[in-house]
Amino acid sequence: MPTFDEARTRMVAEQLESRGISDRRVLDVMLRVPRHVFVPANAQMLSYADRALPIGEGQTISQPYMVALMTEALHLSGTERVLEIGTGSGYQAAVLAELATEVITVERRPDLASLAQDILSALGYRNIHVVVGDGSVGRESDAPFDAILVAAGAPHVPASLKRQLADGGRLVIPIGTATHQILTVVTRTGNTLQESSGEGCVFVPLVGQEGWPARQLP
């Protein structure tokens, strides 16, 4: 069996570079961050497979390609304050933290937030702040943000997230139904917001005040 390092190298070459991920900084981070640490022990041998994996409480760690694609779409230079919605086990937050100055990540499930905090602390991340709350309304007390990444599917772009996006900032969010979405990028220039659509994707639903009410989900 290949080592985790070997599997991670193959993942970057076969799943990311071959599909058009070209930002060298993103590729290098995906080579460094140990995805296997963020999945349950019984799934670690699948850590670098081309798929999302369950992490408990009905949630998943995103497919590596989707993590890279969404991260690349933010165009991070290293100086940004980033808001992530949907911490999960913390993998996406770790990737963002390698490319930005500060990451605030919001998870509505306390047990998952605690798990993510433990993993991220053990790996030595000090620029990630894990918060328990309703991510669909963002984090007004810490706004504005240079970049916002939503790792859950929403029925529309939450108005709160639009307001919390800094001038020149970018918001990446899956928009669609509870079972299928289109990756959407929102860019703010002054008071103007411009949206563009990209690839189809499937994320767990964004549940909350400006997302999906839990009672409406299938």
DSSP letters, the chain, are ---HHHHHHHHIIIIIGGGT---HHHHHHHHHS-GGGGS-GGGGGGTTSSS-EEEETTEEEPPHHHHHHHHHHTT--S--EEEEE--TTSHHHHHHHTTSSEEEEEES-HHHHHHHHHHHHHTT--SEEEEES-GGG--GGG--EEEEEE-SBBSS--HHHHHTEEEEEEEEEEEE-SS-EEEEEEEEETTEEEEEEEEEE---B-BSTTSB-GGG--
Domains and CATH numbers, the chain: 4-216 (3.40.50.150)
Residue 71's pLDDT is what?
A: 98
Residues 62-100 pLDDT 10s: 999 999 999 999 999 999 999 999 999 999 999 999 999
- In angstroms, the CA 35 to CA 102 distance is 20
Return mean pLDDT, the chain: 96
Q: Which listed residue (18, 22, 47, 62) is catalytic?
A: 62
Q: Does residue 174 have a cis peptide bond before it, meaning omega lies within 30 degrees of 0?
A: no
> Region 174-179: what's the mean pLDDT?
95
Residue 35's pLDDT is what?
A: 98
Q: Which two three-digit tokens encode residue 145?
A: 């943000």
Residues 140-155 pLDDT 10s: 999 999 999 999 999 9
- In angstroms, the CA 40 to CA 178 distance is 25
- In angstroms, the CA 77 to CA 138 distance is 22
- In angstroms, the CA 214 to CA 10 distance is 38
In contact, 87 and 130? CB cutoff 8 Å? yes
**pLDDT over threshold 80, residue 216:** no
- Radius of gyration, alpha carbons of the chain: 16
pTM across the whole model: 0.96
- In angstroms, the CA 183 to CA 197 distance is 6
Side-chain half-sphere of 52: how many Cα atoms within 13 Å? 19
**Closest C-alpha among 58, 55, 56 to residue 47:** 55
Is 62 marked active-site? Answer: yes
Residues 101-127 pLDDT 10s: 999 999 999 999 999 999 999 999 999
In contact, 145 and 167? CB cutoff 8 Å? no
Residues 25-39 pLDDT 10s: 999 999 999 999 999
